[in-house]
Structure 1
Amino acid sequence: MTVATINPFGSRTTVHLSPEDYEAIARELDAVRDEISADLGERDSAYIHRIIRLQRGLEIGGRALLFASSLPPAWLAGTATLTVAKILENMEIGHNVMHGQWDWMRDPKIHSTTWEWDNVSPAEQWKHSHNFVHHTFTNVLGKDNDVGYGILRVTPEQKWHWANIPQPIYNALLAMFFEYGVALHDLEIDKVREGTNDPEETKEKLRAIGRKIRRQWTKDYVAFPLLTGPQFLSTLAANFTANVARNVWAHTIIFCGHFPGDVEVFEEETLEGETKGEWYVRQLLGSANISGGRLFHLMTGNLSHQIEHHLFPDLPSNRYAEIAPRVRALCEKYDLPYHTGPLRKQVTSTWGKIVRYAFPGGSRPNEDQA
């Protein structure tokens, strides 16, 4: 067996795979995709319609409770219900619909080209920065802007700068207002700082973001609070709280799928001549799952199956749970890591890295133990 190093940094994972192994991995994972795609049908369609009905019912119920938001029990119940509705809309519905996971149904109301989510990030910009850039160049430094979101040092391979020192504070603020960070993501702030961006394109993107923010603020902070009349201020506070809670949850799940413990990053040279099998292995090494039950997976938008999502981003999310054991078995077969753990572990690991890499130096977890 020949030796190929998929991680040119030579850090924790050196993958010993022959070209034939990569080809076999591609065939096996392509077969999983083909099998699931051929099996999509009524039960999948019923699932997404059921989740959309549930989400809309929760939103209507939450907003109805806020008509009595001056009463603490009604405020708490309304805020909690609205928070769950917003989480479901953004994660299990919006994120996955805009990935094209349900385009096979050919339903113009549940289609990646028509869905606009309950978020200040314009759908078109998100689809470019996420669907194309992130999922094509997953964890490649200099290509994938999701590695640290342009403001955080999350791996020792990133150059340290004194501005990284307060990054735990940056991250806490990013969590609270995550939708705004996502909205700015497609601007490619690094290019703006370096002056290599197209000024007119940047201005147009900013105008689109401004329009979306006005739309969201009008809905959550003007229209619905006004509908509750004398409960205006308490409803306004409830809507703000629901948005922040949704943002913190989304930030937590997404960061725990990309940055904990042993998740790898790659140099740009990894992309040179990259085969389908090597792309699949890069997704495996650059992702982490979060273990939990069915309700937990639903509330994460099934992004708790981040490995399966990175392998098959356009397969319906309700199928990731049945795909996961097959992917894990493949990892065992080829002696590849399958990063997974409970939420508590992944959160601790992710925040631990953010705090550690705020300072110069640093090494990977296994190197610390060596």
Structure 2
Amino acid sequence: MDPTLHFDRRIRPGAHPVTTTPSKTIREAHLSNEQLTAFAAELDQLRAEQVSTYGDRDAKHIRRMQRRAQGSAIVGRSLLMFGWDPISWVLGVIALAHAKILENMEIGHNVMHGQYDWMNDPTLNSRTYDWDIVCDKEHWKHSHNVEHHDHTNILGRDHDYGYGMLRLTAEQRWNPATLLQPVWYALLALYFQWGVAVHDVKFGRFLLGRMSRAELRQRSMPFFRKAGRQLFKDYVFFPLLAFWQWPRVLLGNLVANGIRNLWTNAIIFCGHFTEDARVFTRAEAKGETRGHWYLRQIRGSSNLEGSRWFHVMTGHLSHQIEHHLFPDIPALRYPEVAPRVREICSRYGVHYNTGGFWRQYATVLKRIVVHAWPTRPARRNGPESVAV
């Protein structure tokens, strides 16, 4: 597996860090450049240790997740197609939603990050895997693996920040329509797979006159092809298989997709938009070193605490800090490396943002409501500092 797969090439593991310090950059006020270099070296070493121990345990885990998702989908669809009472319908919806969440979060998301490319298994390779969602895989890999992970929380570079719909910091421009963003967020959560799917089409650029109609048509075709296949599968093919009670199957698929959308939205927003998650300017990120890059990933991310099964159902994105630091190592490793990352952060005085799901999600909702109003940017602690 290419160890530089999801990193900006100029600050890849093993590369020499930028030696000059720009006038504005991402740093903790109390950390010197030497300390940041040491900070990065410790995290690089932690990553190297994980890469060197890939093996059967990781392969068995992801294949077990595949079997579990497939089995749950079979149970769910069977209950929807051959059941007749409300209880079997509810159980069928739960089983199908569980399968879709597991496939999207623990399997699809992580496989398409290249976490299992080293296995040389075409069913688990980032170049060939396609997930059970309306989003085209190549669109997602560009908008997420490149734009988001390389430029995490940099305004104007990370287009995942607010998904082009939400104002989540006072540094973003306010307009009267922003007052309705709690409504926009509710709609985005309910139809989240569609928001993700159209994200890399860049329709907003077309509306602003920055994209031609021909380019929009070209960018839209992969989305329409993938969305068409998914709509046919869930809302035509499977209902027709149970033609004697097709409304029951169609409604079950619709609700299962809705549950998956709400869950994935909540987990992803908790990982990126809690009250303590920092946002950065382009000037701050200009010429950043490896240490600055690691620091930005930590300060722009949030973790969730929970049980082992909770972590699996989040695709281990409950360890968003570790995922942003090491996006291409198997997610199964995140709970194991998290205590060491937290200890490193503690020694260097870097804030490690973690908490329970409901507490973290409450701060997300608060952020959405607060910045619906014309808030002003807070004063920073000098042009070269980021408060701990």
Are 2:382 and 1:334 equivalent residues in the alignment? no
Structure 1 stretch displaced more, 270-279 or 127-136: 270-279
How far does residue 230 in structure 1 lie from its aligned partner after superposition? 1.4
How far does residue 202 in structure 1 lie from its aligned partner after superposition? 2.5
Q: Of residues 221, 239, 262 in structure 1, which corresponds to 2:235?
A: 221
Provide the C-alpha distance between the structure 2 equivalents of 1:304 and 1:282, rounded to a whole number of angstroms: 18
Q: Of residues 130, 135, 140 in structure 2, which corresponds to 1:121?
A: 135
Q: Of residues 164, 167, 174 in structure 2, which corresponds to 1:160?
A: 174
How far does residue 3 in structure 1 lie from its aligned partner after superposition? 12
Q: Of residues 286, 289, 303 in structure 2, which corresponds to 1:289?
A: 303
Provide the C-alpha distance between the structure 1 equivalents of 2:84 and 2:220, rounded to a whole number of angstroms: 37
1:342-357 equivalent positions in 2, closer than 5 A: 342-357=356-371
Counterpart for residue 98 of structure 2: 84
Counterpart for residue 202 of structure 2: 188
The one-letter code matched in structure 2 to 1:100 is: G
Say which SS state the counterpart of residue 303 (structure 1) adopts. coil
Percent identity among equivalent residues? 48
How far does residue 271 in structure 1 lie from its aligned partner after superposition? 2.5
Q: Of residues 203, 210, 231 in structure 1, which corresponds to 2:224?
A: 210
Provide the C-alpha distance between the structure 1 equivalents of 2:304 and 2:376, rounded to a whole number of angstroms: 25
Gaps of 5+ in 1: 8-12
Counterpart for residue 17 of structure 2: none
Structure 1 contact 260–346 (Cα < 8 Å) conserved: yes
Q: Of residues 11, 16, 20 in structure 1, which corresponds to 2:30?
A: 16
The one-letter code matched in structure 1 to 2:152 is: T
Deviation string 1:43-99 (CA, Å, 9 cap, x unpaired) is: 111110111011100001111111234410110000000000000000000000000
1:220-369 equivalent positions in 2, closer than 5 A: 220-361=234-375
Structure 1 contact 178–251 (Cα < 8 Å) conserved: yes
- Give the structure, 1 or 2, with the largest relative contact order (CA under 8 Å, sep 6 or more): 2
Provide the C-alpha distance between the structure 1 equivalents of 2:23 and 2:270, rounded to a whole number of angstroms: 28
Say which SS state the counterpart of residue 115 (structure 1) adopts. coil
Deviation string 1:280-335 (CA, Å, 9 cap, x unpaired) is: 00000000001111010000000000000000000100000001001100110110
Counterpart for residue 99 of structure 1: 113
Counterpart for residue 58 of structure 2: 44
Counterpart for residue 8 of structure 2: none
How far does residue 155 in structure 1 lie from its aligned partner after superposition? 1.0
Gaps of 5+ in 2: 1-20, 382-388
Cα RMSD for the two superposed structures: 1.8
Provide the C-alpha distance between the structure 2 equivalents of 1:189 and 1:223, rounded to a whole number of angstroms: 30
Counterpart for residue 139 of structure 1: 153
TM-score, normalised by the number of residues in structure 1: 0.94
Structure 1 contact 4–18 (Cα < 8 Å) conserved: no
The one-letter code matched in structure 2 to 1:210 is: F
Are 2:87 and 1:73 equivalent residues in the alignment? yes
Are 2:196 and 1:178 equivalent residues in the alignment? no
Provide the C-alpha distance between the structure 1 equivalents of 2:169 and 2:371, rounded to a whole number of angstroms: 7
